[in-house]
């Protein structure tokens, strides 16, 4: 039977990621990306009754979340909720679940002071989250700096546990930035550009403690005095005592195992601006948690913001339509978020789809379209002419991001807030083109000082549009596949620019990419492999064989099948043939997220311009499957009143209770009928249901409860309830004496 994707996730049926062959890359240029994301926990027990749609404050939902037993589900019913405050998930081990984003919708008309002042519509956070401006606990970091190290020594006075560090804590490790002059190699810098040769960032850094932009955020797995074991081990190869390494952490433990599933969130009426409301969904001081099958729209800044987290999964979701057309309008934005997995999502009608800050993050198999950007009065670039890349590095202190299998407009590493390094793009399709845009229409664009990156096995460009392969770029022009070493404009230095940086190209590994300018079947050019570098070289690969993935198994994931066909796996690369995207010599097929977007019905209602076609009725369960066989198994419906056996009552009406379980878990639309009276009604609920106020006829009543699953299979259970009213009282005689 077919198992729909959203349910496979809930049941934990998605296969675990398996470390893939990354031997093409040298050790210092990669991490173990197979560990990214959360293990999604099976939850089948509902706590309390299903919450029906209502208008008012969020207290009913928040109270249900707070009181729910660990490992259970707070179930929201079908319909539209209108909430004047934020939903707060301030505890671990709970799932907030709707009936599907096409059925359960939440409109926010206001929000509360939550998540440490980030003002989200949905807050997932420890009740006392840490803040980089005033960490709750700090220590020096005195030993254990090598890449891969899993034990670090902290200056805790002999006992780190006595300073509130615990197994399960997120430990933030940082060091001072490098100097503000270019060392000619790896440069950890967030200094504002002050002249053409002092500083590296257009506006300066914004992540990490002051002057400490490079921050890794592993989990503590053991404490032995001053010796702290962490997982994963250190990523960066440049940790060193000369930069005064340090550590900080919050007093309490982060949240874990929180899920948000199968709901649509609309922030269009919450009234907050981009600096006040930082995200529709904010996950802060949390690890090992997930967001699946969610629709989010009209977030003022980010649809999903991750803040000081690790191992968070965002999957099978639809993020679209910024409330603003200007800056700071993102699909997912992360700050200090390590080993995020952002997979199989659709991102549309947003300024920039992905803005990551962290280490070891994976953004894979996402479809990005309709980058909407029109900053009112912005002097550069003019108007809405700039194409906004779907995969975008914007901040310093970030490294080892993997972009894999995405179908997006382009990849950009800019120089606004600092340097980012060791970024890998593998098997993506970057068109470098969008109708109506003429600025930054480039497949891969990397600004000065962002070095030691890898671009492998991608399909780049648009046939008939791009005319050059590799050109240094200043200003707004560009019809090239690559723009490398792009100059950075200083915002506070009277119009100064950084120099164009030749080290961006000379430290970049390019191998096996197909582009529409040089064409052919893929460029396997040894001269584009930085094998001769003194710092962080990469040997020329011994052959032209590319692995299927850098982070998951070599076979297609379970959700790869769609109702509109299954692309080959991998779907993009120089070794792919018969691809369905025109003008690419057959090297790119449409990934599942794109097939979902293109084949669902559309509406322009709710888009930023009123003209962009959005998916009208998104539900991941309609788009992705875990196998090719249709689901024909009906849910099992059980009437539990009186143990499910026939019984007799003397009064009417009657309430029936019961449950419904499906092989794919999603059960909805339960109803009852009475064969004797002809009555019918709704039996609200998901795992459990209640059929209230059933009017009975005198005599035998055959009651049937029907429930459907996501594939519209129907299950039922019946019971006979006999109404036998007591006989009326007999005649009354009074005996007189």
Same domain, 425 and 294: yes
592 in a domain, yes or no? no
Q: What pLDDT shows up at residue 206?
A: 67
594 in a domain, yes or no? no
Same domain, 501 and 645: no
Nearest to 430 by CA among 503, 483, 495, 497: 483
Output phi, psi for 41, to 5 deg. Answer: -90, 135
The tokens for 159 are: 């006992």
**Which residue's structure tokens are 């399709």?**
429
Report the pLDDT averaged over residues 725-737. Answer: 68
Q: What pLDDT shows up at residue 393?
A: 87
Q: Which residues contact 515 (CB under 8 A, 6 or more apart)?
A: 443, 459, 460, 461, 466, 469, 481, 523
Last-in-domain residue among 528, 554, 574? 528
Number of domain units in the chain: 2
pLDDT, averaged across the chain = 89
The tokens for 672 are: 């009852």
Vertex 596 angle, CA 99 and 584, to 5°: 160
pLDDT at 381 over 80: no
616 in a domain, yes or no? no
pLDDT at 684 over 90: no
73 in a domain, yes or no? yes
**Which residue's structure tokens are 């948000």?**
260
Give strand ranges (E) for 495-539: 509-511, 514-515
Q: What pLDDT shows up at residue 328?
A: 77
Same domain, 322 and 451: yes
Q: What pLDDT shows up at residue 477?
A: 64
pLDDT, one tens digit per residue, over 262-303 is: 999 999 888 765 455 678 999 999 999 999 999 999 987 899
| Least trusted range by pLDDT, from 187-201, 382-396, 552-566, 594-608 | 382-396
pLDDT at 374 over 80: no
> 431 or 110, which is more confident?
431
Do β-strands 55-56 and 367-371 pair in parallel, antiparallel, or remain unpaired?
unpaired
179 in a domain, yes or no? no
Q: Are 480 and 460 in contact (CB under 8 A)?
A: no
Distances 474 to 74, 356, 533, 544 between C-alpha atoms, Å: 53, 24, 26, 34
Number of Cβ within a 10 Å radius of residue 325: 17
Quote the percentage of the chain above a pLDDT of 70. 90
Q: What pLDDT shows up at residue 341?
A: 98
Output phi, psi for 504, to 5 deg. Answer: -60, -45
Nearest to 42 by CA among 72, 68, 8, 10: 10
Same domain, 273 and 412: yes
Q: What pLDDT shows up at residue 351?
A: 86
Same domain, 333 and 465: yes
| Least trusted range by pLDDT, from 228-242, 318-332, 584-598 | 318-332
**Which residue's structure tokens are 């929000």?**
111
Report the pLDDT averaged over residues 167-181. Answer: 96
Q: What is the DSSP letter of 127?
A: S
Vertex 386 angle, CA 380 and 392, to 5°: 105
pLDDT at 450 over 90: yes
Q: What pLDDT shows up at residue 664?
A: 58
Q: What pLDDT shows up at residue 710?
A: 63
Helix (H, G, I), strand (E, B) or coil at 504: helix
172 in a domain, yes or no? no
Output phi, psi for 63, to 5 deg. Answer: -65, -40
Q: Is the peptide bond before 232 cis (omega within 30 degrees of 0)?
A: yes
Query: For residue 699, what are the domain limits?
Result: 636-723
Q: Can you tell me the distance from the alpha carbon of 545 to that of 290, in angstroms, rounded to the nearest whole number?
A: 34
Q: Can you tell me the distance from the alpha carbon of 19 to that of 554, in angstroms, rounded to the nearest whole number?
A: 10
Last-in-domain residue among 504, 528, 552? 528
Q: What pLDDT shows up at residue 50?
A: 92
pLDDT, one tens digit per residue, over 522-546 is: 899 999 999 999 999 999 999 999 9
pLDDT at 70 over 60: yes
CATH code for position 677: 2.60.40.1220
Same domain, 267 and 119: yes
641 in a domain, yes or no? yes
pLDDT at 2 over 50: no
Question: pLDDT category, 730, cuts 50, 70, 90?
Answer: low
pLDDT, one tens digit per residue, over 18-55 is: 446 789 999 999 999 999 999 998 898 999 999 999 99
> 207 or 510, which is more confident?
510
Q: What pLDDT shows up at residue 733?
A: 56
Q: What pLDDT shows up at residue 17?
A: 47
| Least trusted range by pLDDT, from 330-344, 445-459, 627-641 | 627-641
Q: Are 703 and 673 in contact (CB under 8 A)?
A: yes
Same domain, 345 and 494: yes
Q: What pLDDT shows up at residue 377?
A: 47
Burial class of 645 by CB neighbour count within 10 A (0 to 12, 13 to 18, 19+)? exposed
Q: Which residues contact 635 (CB under 8 A, 6 or more apart)?
A: 660, 661, 662, 663, 667, 707, 708, 709, 713, 714, 715
Same domain, 351 and 469: yes
Q: Can you tell me the distance from the alpha carbon of 532 to that of 507, in angstroms, rounded to the nearest whole number?
A: 10
665 in a domain, yes or no? yes
| Least trusted range by pLDDT, from 138-147, 233-242, 313-322, 682-691 | 682-691
The structure's pTM equals: 0.87
pLDDT at 5 over 50: no
pLDDT, one tens digit per residue, over 141-166 is: 999 999 999 999 999 999 999 999 99
CATH code for position 348: 2.160.20.10
Q: Can you tell me the distance from the alpha carbon of 283 to that of 277, in angstroms, rounded to the nearest whole number?
A: 13
Output phi, psi for 602, to 5 deg. Answer: -125, 160
Report the pLDDT averaged over residues 578-602. Answer: 95
Last-in-domain residue among 512, 528, 544? 528
Q: Which residues contact 532 (CB under 8 A, 6 or more apart)?
A: none
Q: Which residues contact 727 (CB under 8 A, 6 or more apart)?
A: none
């Amino acid at each position: 039977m077919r198992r729909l994707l959203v349910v496979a996730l809930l049941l934990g049926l998605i296969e675990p990621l398996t470390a893939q062959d990354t031997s093409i890359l040298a050790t210092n240029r990669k991490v173990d990306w197979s560990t990214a994301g959360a293990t999604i926990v099976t939850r089948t027990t509902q706590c309390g009754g299903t919450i029906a749609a209502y208008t008012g404050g969020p207290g009913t939902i928040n109270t249900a979340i707070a009181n729910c037993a660990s490992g259970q589900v707070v179930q929201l019913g079908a319909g539209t909720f209108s909430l004047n405050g934020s939903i707060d998930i301030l505890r671990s081990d709970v799932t907030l679940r709707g009936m599907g984003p096409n059925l359960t919708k939440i409109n926010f008309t206001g929000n509360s002071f939550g998540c440490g002042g980030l003002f989200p519509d949905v807050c997932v956070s420890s009740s006392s989250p840490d803040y980089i401006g005033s960490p709750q606990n700090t220590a020096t970091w005195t030993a254990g700096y090598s890449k891969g190290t899993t034990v670090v020594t902290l200056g805790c006075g002999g006992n780190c546990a006595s300073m509130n560090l615990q197994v399960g804590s997120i430990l933030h490790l940082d060091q001072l930035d490098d100097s503000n002059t270019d060392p000619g190699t790896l440069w950890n810098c967030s200094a504002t550009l002050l002249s053409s040769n002092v500083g590296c960032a257009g506006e300066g850094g914004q992540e990490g403690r002051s002057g400490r932009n490079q921050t890794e955020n592993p989990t503590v797995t053991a404490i032995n005095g001053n010796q702290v074991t962490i997982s994963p081990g250190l990523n960066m190869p440049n940790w060193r005592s000369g930069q005064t390494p340090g550590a900080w952490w919050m007093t309490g433990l982060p949240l874990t195992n929180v899920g948000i599933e199968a709901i649509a969130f609309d922030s269009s009426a919450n009234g907050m601006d981009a600096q006040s409301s930082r995200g529709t969904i904010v996950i802060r001081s949390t690890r090992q948690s997930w967001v699946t099958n969610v629709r989010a729209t009209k977030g003022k800044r980010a649809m999903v913001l991750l803040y000081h987290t690790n191992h968070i999964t965002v999957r099978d979701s639809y993020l679209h339509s910024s409330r603003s057309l200007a800056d700071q309008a993102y699909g997912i934005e992360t700050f200090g978020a390590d080993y995020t997995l952002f997979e199989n999502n659709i991102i549309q009608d947003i300024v920039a789809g992905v803005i990551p800050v962290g280490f070891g993050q994976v953004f894979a198999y996402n479809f990005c379209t309709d980058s909407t950007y029109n900053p009112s009065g912005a002097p550069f670039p003019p108007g809405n002419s700039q194409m906004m890349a779907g995969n975008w590095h914007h901040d310093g202190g970030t490294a080892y991001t993997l972009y894999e299998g995405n179908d997006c407009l382009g990849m950009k590493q800019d120089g606004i807030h600092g340097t980012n390094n060791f970024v890998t793009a593998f098997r993506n399709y970057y068109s470098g083109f969008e109708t109506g845009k003429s600025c930054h229409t480039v497949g891969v664009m990397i600004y000065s000082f962002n070095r030691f990156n890898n671009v492998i096995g991608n399909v780049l460009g648009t046939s008939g549009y791009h005319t050059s392969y590799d050109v240094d770029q200043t200003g707004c022009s560009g019809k090239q596949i690559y723009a490398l070493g792009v100059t950075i404009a200083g915002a506070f230095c009277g119009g100064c620019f950084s120099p164009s940086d030749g080290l961006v190209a000379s430290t970049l590994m390019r191998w096996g990419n197909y582009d529409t300018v040089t064409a052919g079947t893929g460029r396997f050019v040894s001269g584009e492999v930085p094998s001769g570098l003194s710092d962080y070289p990469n040997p020329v690969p011994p052959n032209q064989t590319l692995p299927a993935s850098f982070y998951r198994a070599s076979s297609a994931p379970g959700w790869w099948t769609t109702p509109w066909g299954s692309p080959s796996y991998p779907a993009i690369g120089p070794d792919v043939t018969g691809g369905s995207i025109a003008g690419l010599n057959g090297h790119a097929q449409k990934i599942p997220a794109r097939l979902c977007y293109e084949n669902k019905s559309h509406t322009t209602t709710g888009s930023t311009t009123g003209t962009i076609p959005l998916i009208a009725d998104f539900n991941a369960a309609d788009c992705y499957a875990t196998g090719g066989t249709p689901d024909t198994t009906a849910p099992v419906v059980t009437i539990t009143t009186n143990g499910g056996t026939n019984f007799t009552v003397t009064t009417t009406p009657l309430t029936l209770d019961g449950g419904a379980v499906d092989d794919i878990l999603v059960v909805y639309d339960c109803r009852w009928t009475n064969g004797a009276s002809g009555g019918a009604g709704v039996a609200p609920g998901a795992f459990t249901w209640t059929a209230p106020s059933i009017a009975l006829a005198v005599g035998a009543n055959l009651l049937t409860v029907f429930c459907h699953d996501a594939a519209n299979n129907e299950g039922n259970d019946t019971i006979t309830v006999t109404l036998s009213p007591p006989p009326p009282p007999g005649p009354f005689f009074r005996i007189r004496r």
